[in-house]
Structure 1
């Protein structure tokens, strides 16, 4: 059985990863997101796969939330085979120019997109160590690239 935790699982790439793993009969999926009560698509999938999908509340920047997420996952399994750090945010539109960047906004984006994946990995590393051929996947995008941008 493949046991996988996906952050940012309520929409976009994260939600599609949840769907893809659930199509594999031998998977146990932990779908983590900030506001599970608003994750309608996840709840629909949980109704379809009640034994194989658990929705985990997780605010990746919050230490207590990360610890609670580990405890919740640990109630269902003693190991993870795959951890996918997918949760991320985009800067506000006004930050698309040098003049529009604000310190607090920039620090928040860096915290969510760069620091939080490391911290999520840190709290789940013991479960990963017990996994079958454990795999850590960090999702990024071209928008986050420092070298692949031609728009300044």
Structure 2
């Protein structure tokens, strides 16, 4: 049974992704900043008859928490097959750069960008022990420069500029890390769930969490070694 770690998995898209992957016979570790929230998520899954899950306390923005989580997971598994960097925060409003708060931008980047980097690098040795590991960075269309500059773009989402900028940076990390890991067999890709109704957007998204998790699950179960340094959505690729 392959092992998966999903950060920010005690609720929302992360939780639903964990549920779907566990039902596909993966063993899923649900990363959660709070122990009680993580255990509650496990309880809910157990009530659904899903037992191939466990919680892992980890705050991706805290390097000491990340290191402790890695040390704990090393006592439970010999290799990590898939890392899904899902943990993210939306940040406070307003987020336009003219009127926004630089400290708010730092907080968003600490979780959405630096957090993903910290946990990836810390867990990389465990990923290298897998025969064919995969790193999946959960991104967003608002992080796509191509879509942001396209004619007829949806400017209503410009209020998520800090969040969008952090996802643009995450996409750059995806490509650069994929290139660095070319000879290791580890694939690195970005994926967007689409505009999904979660507490990240006050449940204003048009998609359900079940729908939002689908492209993440599809990418996680993809075994093609040539699929790396790419950006996906439900139905195909997303331009960078």
TM exceeds 0.5? yes
Structure-2 residue corresponding to 1:3? 3
Q: Is this contact kept in 1: 2:83–2:134, CA < 8 A?
A: yes
Conserved 8 A contact 2:82-2:135: yes
TM-score for the superposition, normalised by structure 1: 0.88
Please give the root-mean-square deviation of Cα atoms over the aligned residues, in Å. 1.8
Give the match for residue 16 of structure 1. 16
Structure 1 spans left out of the alignment, 5+ residues: none
| Residue-pair matches, total | 149
Q: Deviations over 1:44-93 (max 9, x none)?
A: 2156444x211011110111100111112112101001011111111212
For residues 2-151 of structure 1, the aligned pairs below 5 Å read 2-25=2-25, 27-39=26-38, 40-46=40-46, 48-50=49-51, 52-95=52-95, 97-149=96-148, 150=153, 151=155
The superposition leaves residues 83-119 of structure 1 with CA deviations (integer Å, 9 ceiling, x where unpaired) of 1111111121222x33431011101111211111111
Change in Cα spacing, 1:57 to 1:141, as seen in structure 2 (3 Å) is: same
- Which runs of 5 or more residues in structure 2 are unaligned? 159-240
- TM superposition shift of 1:8: 1.0
4+ aligned runs moved over 4 Å, structure 1? none
In the alignment, the residues of structure 2 paired with residue 31 and residue 17 of structure 1 have an alpha-carbon distance, to the nearest angstrom, of: 10
Q: Is the 8 A contact 2:23 2:50 kept in 1?
A: no
CA distance in 2, matches of 1:10, 1:119: 20
